Amino acid sequence: MPIKVAVLLERRPDEKRVAMVPAVAEKLSKLGCDICIFSGAGLNSKLPDSAYSTVSFAHSDSELLSDAAIVLAVQPPTLEQVNLLQPGTILLSFIYAHKEPELTRLLRDKNITCFAMEQVPRISRAQAMDALSSQAALAGYYAALLGATKLARILPMMTTAVGSIRPARCLVMGLGVAGLQALATARRLGAITEGYDVRPETKEQAESLGAKFVDTGVDARGEGGYARELTADEKEKIASVVTRHIQQADIVITTAAIPGRPSPKLISKAQVDGMKLGAVIIDLAAEGGGNCEYSQPGKTIEQGQITIAAPFNVPSMLAEHASELYAKNLLNLLQLMIINNAINLNWDDEVLAKTVLTHNGEIKPAAVKTALEQQ
């Protein structure tokens, strides 16, 4: 019997992505799935219903969800949508349980098996399922373009009949997936690029992209590929080195975001106040409060002569390719749990075991369970 896979219509105002694209839907069908999509779910990604040739369409959540075995979404579903699901239904989407305690408890109480895409472990085997990384790469690319369009000058060196224009300087702070892509894009646009990260192993990666690495002498490697919290002395040492580079830059792009925690403040108000006139800051950590002390999440502001942009949900601004990459992440994860046209959850599989949020009436990650119990 085919496995019904339901794809939700994203209803959050700033979300343009869709969890399934036509090319991936065809591959998912070959796993023994019947795919049903909410009519119009792909429109914001430039995918009308007519683009999908192997799926059926629903025109209400009840029609879509009442008999679904697997539900796919980008953003967390609503409480009303979860209440339509049968016990034992499998949900794959971003959840961010620390922001959605009521939803997380409902998923537990409804006995929904939820795989939270932000929890995919950052191990080599799971790279093809790592939605945080696939979306971050697009955000980093777009951050460089945003910086270029908000700057009142060009990025590359240009020689004209009346003289030469010097290239702009771009500093990227935080050299994860987004930061490295921002460096690569700014370099392709002709800027002089510098990269900074508290993890010294990123030096080689920055230099491989033609950027100079800002070395502060502080090693802040933490767990899971993220940086650890800095001590007061370390912050002071870093600030003394980094300030000069911030204040020489025309564009500063910050990318330091840690899922489930506030974004670290990488740029102080004093550092901004000393920046070059007309400089631009692109803050990609708006969801966690921003990396710059002046940032106003979701807004672009002028602080003196400095432009500070802290947009929400940057991948959604590139909805077509963001949806394609996300759908492929979902497909690769589903291939671990659909074996011989049937659902088979192998909890000895590290990827499934670490990605699951709720199962069999329990919240599985200990940290999430403890945090919700304390609320």
Catalytic residues: 122, 127, 130, 133, 226
| DSSP string across 12-26 | STT----S--HHHHH
Please, what is the angle between helix 131-150 and helix 319-337, to 10°? 170
> What is the CB neighbour count within 10 angstroms for residue 171?
28
Residue of 227, 225, 226 lying closest to 216 (CA atoms):
227
What letters, b where the CB count within 10 A reaches 16 and e where it falls short, cover 42-79? Answer: bebbebeeeebeebebbeebeebbeebbbbbbbbbbee
Sheet with 56-58: strands ordered across: 56-58, 33-38, 3-7, 70-72, 90-93, 113-116, 356-359, 362-363
Residue of 52, 100, 107 lying closest to 82 (CA atoms):
107
CA distance 273 to 1: 64
- Residues near 337 by beta carbon (within 8 Å), at least 6 away in sequence: 90, 343, 344, 345, 346, 352
Residue of 8, 4, 6, 7 lying closest to 78 (CA atoms):
8
253 close to 145: Cβ distance less than 8 angstroms: no
Sheet with 280-283: strands ordered across: 212-214, 192-196, 169-173, 251-254, 280-283, 306-309, 300-303
Supply φ then ψ for residue 160, to 5 degrees.
Answer: -125, 175
DSSP code at position 49: G
CA distance 155 to 136: 23
Q: At 116, list the tokens.
A: 């939270």
Supply φ then ψ for residue 116, to 5 degrees.
Answer: -85, 115
